[in-house]
Every structure is written in structure tokens, then in C-alpha cells.
Amino acid sequence: MSDYTASAAEVKALREATGAGIMECKNALRESAGDQDAAVKLLRERGIAKTAKRADRTTTEGLIEAYVHGGRIGVLVEIGCETDFVAGTDDFKTFAHEVALQISASADARWVSREDVPAELIESELEIYRAQAADKPENVRDKIAQGKLDKWLSTVCLLEQPYVRDSDRTVDDLRTEIAAKTGENVQIKRFTRYERGA
């Protein structure tokens, strides 16, 4: 494996082209020494790139997973897939359980993805971060503010959070893996987290 380190722009371009998770894109770019076409080929060979094409397919099947931690924290999460066959598999049930576990461990998760965050809230957060960067050189203020916004979104958006069992992977990486394994569009649709006394 090469020592190549992909830039954020390269990872973003590969993600948009394949729908693969951040870590899969970083690894594919490292293995291909930054060659986008070779990285796409690697992801396709692993079955990960196909998941982007499935993203528009409806997920009317699935299951609702419930998890209670010590009588103190409770989680309900709805996971969607395309067929009841996949919904009944052990891999899918394990994925649903891991997502519920992730939510129970993270009091910060408020939305599934950044697309779910209200636009006015994103703009309000960006204004705060711009104000915090006011003493920095003008040409880097927006970049600093955007970096802080991305960091905030990675804590409040479930899909962008580091997976509790392996911080090198995100929850979206986990979702992409199960979608590749099952050959279906898999979506975390919604969740609720309860904490006693909160």
C-alpha cells in the first residue's frame, strides 16, 4: 500500500462519483496513489460503488430496532431496505442493532444526515463561527468557519459520526458496507433517543 494521502477535495470527488463512504474513498485513493479512475475501479470491484446507484430505490421494507441501556437510555430507530428478505437477515438485524447502540452512546445525534438539518440553523451556526474567526486574516475566515461547521455537523448528524466500535469508520461507512453486502438500498430513516431525567 502506498503512503499517498488524499486531499479532502479528492475524497469528496470520489464519494460523489461512487457513493462510497469516506474511509473507503481514502483507502482506495491511497491504494491507487491518487488515481481517481483506478480508485473507482477498486471500489467497484469491492461492490461498494454500486450502492450510489441504489440510493434512489425505495426502501419500504426494513425494521424498527429498540435498544435500552441499563434502564436509563432508550432508543428506537427505523432502518429501511428494499425487501422483507433482506430485513430478515442476520446481517441487517446486526446493522440495525449497531445503529441503535451508536445512538444510545451519543447524546449529540439530532439528525440522520446534514440534509436534515434546517438551513436557517446551519446559517446561524456559520455566522457564529465567522464571528469567532473575526480576528483571523480575512482570506481564511470563511475556511475556518466552514471547518468548524463541518466539525459540528459530524457530531450532530448520525451518519457522519465516528462509529463507536471503530473511530476510523463513520456510521455512513457502516451503512454503505451493509448496502454493498445485501445489494439493496439501506437507509437510516429516523430515530428517537430517550434519556431518563433529561
pLDDT per residue over 37-68, tens digit each?
A: 888 788 777 766 555 555 556 777 999 999 99
- What pLDDT does residue 1 have? 52
Q: How do residues 97-134 score in pLDDT, each as one tens digit? A: 999 999 999 889 999 998 899 999 999 998 899 889 88
Here the contacts of 3-12 (C-beta below 8 Å, separation 24 or greater) are 3/30, 4/29, 4/30, 4/33, 4/34, 5/30, 6/30, 6/34, 10/34, 10/36
Model pLDDT, residue 20:
73
State the pLDDT at residue 2: 65
pLDDT value at residue 153: 92
Range 174-196 average pLDDT: 90
Q: Does the pTM exceed 0.85?
A: no
Residue 87: pLDDT above 70?
yes
Indicate whether 21 pLDDT > 80: no
Q: Where are the domains of the chain?
A: 8-54, 61-113+157-195, 118-155
Q: 5-14, 25-34, 65-74, 117-126: which has the minimum mean pLDDT?
A: 5-14
Average of per-residue pLDDT across 5-14:
83
> What pLDDT, on the 0 to 100 scale, is given for residue 92?
95
State the fold for domain 61-113+157-195: Tetrahydropterin Synthase; Chain A (3.30.479)
> To the nearest whole number, what is the mean pLDDT of the chain?
86
Residue 170 contacts residue 161 (beta carbons within 8 Å): yes
Domain 118-155 has CATH 3.40.630: no
The secondary structure element, H or E, covering residue 77 is strand 73-81
Yes or no: say if 198 and 79 are a contact pair by the CB < 8 Å rule.
no
Cβ 87 vs Cβ 60: under 8 Å: no
Would you state the CATH architecture of domain 8-54? Orthogonal Bundle (1.10)
Q: How far apart are CA 176 and CA 140, in angstroms?
A: 34
